[in-house]
């Protein structure tokens, strides 16, 4: 099966297309990313003796969005969304640092509110750095693998591409985040155990979400009249060109 040449918007002289749902998906991606990092990530959950970070349940949604964006709109469009998420994370981290550093009103502090805010939003610099760098590298690895496999498989085996890209992307994320955030604070065996467990949960989540990915991708390709193949794409992450 040969993909249609018209699927690529990179035809010389062709004006850049506009899409009905691209902006909405971008907003949803950034929302999921911020909520995962600042609401669910700080909490530890124990279910039947198994303990994990609550963020593990929701962070993989960002990879699902990454797969959908790359599959339908192409790597360059997905790259812009990753940069939007990266910028939102950096700004939210800066904002939380400034808010926590401001002197609290005495009555508000006496009620324990300042301590509660610091517990939820006062992650150490290493954790924040590891989270941001892990996200940045992991998302780009995910999109790169997804785009390359689409060309290699000529658009077939979507399930293989989504799972393979998540395996690679989550591996990059985990290998960056855990050493930066926890090396020297946890024993090495604890880091490896938590990293392996969370990694398996994230990849497993992607496998279970495969039917949903198929439905969303199919819907978007129909309504957007787009099915992009990255034949001549510049895969540098350091660009906002589309």
The model's pTM = 0.90
Given a cut of 60, whether residue 151 has pLDDT beyond it is yes
Mean pLDDT of all residues in 26-50: 85
- The residue that leads in pLDDT, 183 or 5, is 183
- The residue that leads in pLDDT, 201 or 11, is 201
What local confidence, expressed as pLDDT, does residue 56 receive?
A: 83
Across the chain, mean pLDDT equals: 90
Percent of the chain's residues with pLDDT above 90:
73
Q: Confidence class of residue 153 from pLDDT cuts 50, 70 and 90?
A: very high
Q: Confidence class of residue 124 from pLDDT cuts 50, 70 and 90?
A: confident
Mean pLDDT of all residues in 38-50: 78
What local confidence, expressed as pLDDT, does residue 48 receive?
A: 83
- In CATH, the architecture of 20-44+53-224 is Orthogonal Bundle (1.10)
CA 182 vs CA 21, 76, 102, 134, 176: distances in Å: 39, 33, 27, 13, 11
Q: What is the pLDDT of residues 9-19, one digit of tens each?
A: 444 444 678 99
Per domain, the residue ranges of the chain are 20-44+53-224
């Amino acid at each position: 099966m040969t993909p249609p040449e018209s699927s690529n918007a990179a035809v010389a002289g062709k004006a850049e297309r506009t899409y009905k749902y691209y902006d909405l998906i971008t907003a949803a991606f950034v929302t999921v990313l911020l909520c995962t990092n600042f609401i669910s990530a700080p909490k530890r959950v124990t279910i039947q003796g198994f303990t994990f970070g609550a963020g593990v349940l929701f962070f993989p949604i960002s990879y699902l969005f990454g797969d959908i964006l790359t599959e339908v709109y192409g790597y360059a469009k997905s790259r812009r969304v990753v940069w939007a998420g990266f910028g939102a994370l950096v700004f939210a981290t800066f904002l939380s640092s400034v808010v926590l550093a401001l002197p609290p009103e005495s009555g508000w502090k006496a009620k324990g509110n300042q301590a509660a805010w610091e517990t939820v939003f006062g992650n150490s610099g290493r954790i924040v750095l590891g989270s941001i760098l892990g996200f940045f590298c992991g998302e780009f690895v995910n999109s790169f693998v997804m785009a390359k496999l689409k060309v290699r498989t000529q658009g077939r085996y979507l399930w293989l591409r989504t799972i393979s890209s998540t395996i690679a992307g989550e591996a990059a994320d985990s290998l960056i985040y855990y050493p930066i955030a926890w090396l020297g604070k946890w024993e090495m065996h604890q880091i490896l155990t938590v990293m392996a467990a969370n990694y398996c949960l994230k990849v497993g989540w992607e496998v279970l979400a495969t039917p949903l990915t198929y439905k969303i991708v199919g819907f978007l390709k129909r309504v957007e009249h787009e099915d992009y193949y990255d034949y001549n794409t510049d895969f540098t992450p350091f660009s906002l060109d589309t």
